[in-house]
Structure formats: structure tokens, C-alpha cells
Structure 1
Amino acid sequence: MKKLTVLFLLALITFDSNGQIDTISTSNGDVIIQPILHGSLVLSWNDQTVYIDPYGGAEKFAGIKSPSLILITDIHGDHLNQKTLDGLNTERSTFIVPQAVKNKLPDAMKSRSMAIANGQTVVFEDLEILAVPMYNLPETPDSRHTKGRGNGYVLSIGGKRIYISGDTEDIPEMRNLKNIDVAFVCMNLPYTMDVDQAASAVIEFKPTIVYPYHYRGKGGLSDVESFKNQVEAAVSTEVRLRSWYPN
């Protein structure tokens, strides 16, 4: 058993190219969190490997177990990245996506995809996935992210609730979230929200841990240190800064 444990840890080190892996304990095993790039990350839990918005090229996922589940939040190329998907082994993957994303998938992937809308919940193996709104304010027909087109997600894993914001502003639905253990919150202008908006929203819904992610915009990288200082001065939420843009 000890030898198997050592081999497992070595395997984690193999695919932890940026020294960024975190472990979240649950009532049914640990969730391994690995940032990949921008809004892309991998969650590993027991026998499940979940890719979220795979982006940046298949080489970014070298050494990581092929996905059993792929979650995609929106149609934009940094979320639905067909080139990256085509380079991955997704033959046994289930896709959970918004309808707008399913419409754009090639037939082979579309046949293994399930479209869910804001407010809907599905269960994959022992993992519960709730689709939540993500959109820009004010709500306009020509918004970069219109309400209902994309999904944020709340994943319930072994009694822990993990929130993936997708591309959103500090909408009421995010501020009203309850009992979030881990949150991934975006902050890049002009596509989502600024650092102050993101900090204000997090201070309101108070996740136990928050990762600022998706923080590269037209002006460069957002000031995540300012985000961390604002949040940790106001609430007990732990802000974890990780390298989402490795050289």
C-alpha cells in the first residue's frame, strides 16, 4: 500500500508542471485541483477526471489522465476551444455544456454531450452539477455574454461545493450563492468584471477558498494582489493565488 501511495504521488508530480496542485479534502476522498491556463483547470476525484474549459492546446494536459467529464461554460474560443479538444483523447468523455456550445460541437462530440440550462442539475457518477447564470451587466442583446447563453457551474463533490464562475460580472445570482467551499472567480476587462467588483461579490457570498482565475484582459493581467488584500481584509475567505499564465 505504501508503494502504491508513493507511485500515486509521483504521478501527481509528473503532471504538476507549474507546482500548482492543491488538494481539497471531502467526505469521500480528496479533490485534486490543477490550474492549466486562463479559465481552464482540471479536477481529479477518485476515478473521475474533470476538464473545465480545456484551452491552450492539448500539450497543456500532457501527463494528465484523459477526461471522464468535460464541462464547457461558453462558446468563446477561450472556453470552447475546438483545436484543444481535437488534440485530447475524449473518446470516453461525457460533455456537459450549454445548448449554444452543443450546437457548435462536431457530431462525434455532440453525440456524447448533454445540454443543460441555468438552474438545471444533473448527476454524473457521484458528482452533482448545477448550471448557474453567467452574464454581463447591463443585460443587452449585444452583450458579450448574454444571460442564459452560457453556464457557470456549482459542483457538489463529497459534500464540498465548488463554484466555477465562467465569464460573468458580479451578478445577483453570484452574490446570492450559499455554502461555497471553493470558488474560481474571473476578473478581466472588458469581458467580465474588474478586481473591485470581483472582490465585492466574493466578500458578499464568502466562499471558504477563492482562486482568482481568468484574469488576463486587454490591459494585461489583473491586479490579483489587490483582490486578495480586499477580500482577506473583509472576510475569512482564503485567497489562493496560482500561476494561470506560465511562461
Structure 2
Amino acid sequence: MFTRRTLMKHSLAGAAGLTILPYGARAAAHDGDVFETPAGPVTVHPVSHASFVMETPAGTFWVDPMGELSAYEGLPRPDAILVTHEHGDHYDPALLEEVAGDVPMIVNPAVAGMLPEGLAANATALANGESGTLIGVLVDAVPAYNITEGRLDFHPEGRDNGYVIGLDGFTVYVSGDTEDIPEMRALEGVDLAFVSMNLPFTMDAEAAADAVNAFAPTYVYPYHYRGRDGGTQDPQAFAEMVDEAVEVRMGPWYE
């Protein structure tokens, strides 16, 4: 696995031909990054830009699944699904129809209104500030929105979700598409965070790092940093700006 320190060491080898691939670029290998928790291991598998699979003692979560089912080959099928919002790199109804079946889902209200009829019965819509349970795990829907002039229409306040997943003795935060908002900065007790960064849709690496330094999770993954319109952010630059007390994980999907 790559931590901040090993990433920095390997980045010096760039002239020797090292290639650092984007989040999820090694999806076919599906290496897992394991976190030991009081209830047992939590294993994170990247899939793509904004999607990952997380095995937990309670069951397997698929977060923002999208794309081809073949990208998930070799991974455990979902016991629970989380969808943050309706943009196409987060919400894929065709894939959900292939895999969801009677799998319980938590989605934001906008996605709930779009779900095919066969999926709607198994979905719980949570608005910002509401809570629900999936496979016995408490999930809080937290705000995710833009605050910068010129970006407000991408993710308006009150529509989209981030999630705080309360596993037994281990708390996971998924930012969804958001900027450096007060609600993120106010988070407490987060063990593992996934924080988005790309322009113009979310925020740059500096803003993401500043937010992370404010709420100080134990571990953080930068994700969602390769924009469809060229707004790529540098995960190495992010890692350099995050406080030493926070361990930046780049994940075993880097080479």
C-alpha cells in the first residue's frame, strides 16, 4: 500500500519511469487496502473515479457504483449500496438494475425520484441531516455542495449527500461532490475519509487538504480528482499539504 511517505519516496523516481495512475486505474487487480478495526478488518477496493467497494464486518458496501459490471469482477457482490447524487459518474441506473436486485440502498431524494420502479422499493431516501440504517449500520446523510461563485449550479446546497458510515468502532466519511464546506470542517471522530477534489466541479487540492486538516481523520483518501473536462488535481500535492497527523492513503491501486 502507498502512504504519504512511500508516495513521496516513489515520486522521486519519476525520471526513472514511475507512473502514478489515477484512482481506480488498477481496478482489474482489485487489491484491497485493509484497516483493522475493533470489530474486524475493513477492506477498501477502488473501482473508478468516484466508486469503490468496501468490505466490512457487517457486509459489503458499494459506493456510487457506475460503469461496466466487468469492472467489479472478482469483488464481492453488494450487501448495501450508497448513492450520493444523480450525476452520471455517481448514479448509473443500468448498472444498479444489473446488480442491485433486492439489495438495500440509501440515496439522496433526487436519485430516489429517478430510480427505476424495480429498485425504488429497496431504496431509502435521506436528505441532508437525516439518518438511516443499512445492514444494521447507521448511515448519516451529510451536506455536499458548492460554495464558489460560478460553481453553485453544479451541486446546489441541500440536494446532494455525503455519508458518514458508523461501523462498530470505526467511522467512515464519504464526501461525495463538495467543496470545503463548514459541515465538513465540523466533522468529529472520523477514522477514514474519502475526499473529492477536481475543478470546476468540486475543489482544488489545496482546499481539500485544508478541509482535511480541519476535521483531522486518522486516514484519508483523495479521490474523484480526474475531471471529465481536464480539471485534474494532483494527489501528491494534496498529500504534501495534509498535516503529518493524518495518514494519506493512495491505495494499492497505484503503481
Q: Report what 1:236 is aligned to.
A: 245
> Where does structure 1 differ by over 4 angstroms across 4 or more consecutive aligned residues?
139-142, 243-246
Q: Is 1:131 aligned to residue 107 of structure 2? A: no
1:92 match: secondary structure? coil
Note if contact 1:139-1:146 (Cα within 8 Å) is conserved in structure 2: no
| Closer/same/farther in 2, CA of residues 109 and 244 from structure 1, 3 Å limit | farther
Q: Report what 1:100 is aligned to.
A: 110
Q: Report what 1:59 is aligned to.
A: 70
Q: Summarize the alignment of residues 20-169 of structure 1 with structure 2, pairs less than 5 Å apart.
A: 20-46=31-57, 48-88=59-99, 90-138=100-148, 143-169=153-179
| Closer/same/farther in 2, CA of residues 141 and 240 from structure 1, 3 Å limit | closer
Note if contact 2:32-2:252 (Cα within 8 Å) is conserved in structure 1: no
TM-score by length of 1: 0.86
Q: Deviations over 1:147-182 (max 9, x none)?
A: 111110000112111000000000000011111100
Instruction: Please state how far the C-alpha of 1:127 moved relative to its aligned partner.
Output: 1.1
2:200 match: secondary structure? coil
1:33 match: secondary structure? strand
RCO higher in structure (CA 8 A, sep ≥6): 2
* CA distance in 1: counterparts of 2:121 and 2:67, whole angstroms: 24
Q: Report what 2:3 is aligned to.
A: none
Instruction: Please state how far the C-alpha of 1:82 moved relative to its aligned partner.
Output: 1.8
Q: Summarize the alignment of residues 181-220 of structure 1 with structure 2, pairs less than 5 Å apart.
A: 181-217=191-227, 218-219=229-230
Note if contact 2:62-2:82 (Cα within 8 Å) is conserved in structure 1: yes
* CA distance in 1: counterparts of 2:153 and 2:27, whole angstroms: 37
Q: Which moved more, 1:178-187 or 1:63-72?
A: 63-72
Q: Which moved more, 1:127-136 or 1:62-71?
A: 62-71
* CA distance in 2: counterparts of 1:84 and 1:56, whole angstroms: 7
Instruction: Please state how far the C-alpha of 1:86 moved relative to its aligned partner.
Output: 3.0
**What amino acid sits opposite 2:247 in the alignment?**
E
Note if contact 2:151-2:200 (Cα within 8 Å) is conserved in structure 1: no
Note if contact 2:199-2:232 (Cα within 8 Å) is conserved in structure 1: no
Q: Report what 2:5 is aligned to.
A: none
Note if contact 1:139-1:147 (Cα within 8 Å) is conserved in structure 2: no
Q: Which runs of 5+ in 1 are unaligned?
A: 1-14
**What amino acid sits opposite 1:24 in the alignment?**
F
Note if contact 1:133-1:148 (Cα within 8 Å) is conserved in structure 2: yes
| Closer/same/farther in 2, CA of residues 135 and 38 from structure 1, 3 Å limit | same
Note if contact 2:219-2:246 (Cα within 8 Å) is conserved in structure 1: yes
* CA distance in 1: counterparts of 2:46 and 2:124, whole angstroms: 25
Q: Deviations over 1:100-133 (max 9, x none)?
A: 0011110000111000111111122331101000
* CA distance in 1: counterparts of 2:200 and 2:231, whole angstroms: 11
Note if contact 1:57-1:83 (Cα within 8 Å) is conserved in structure 2: no
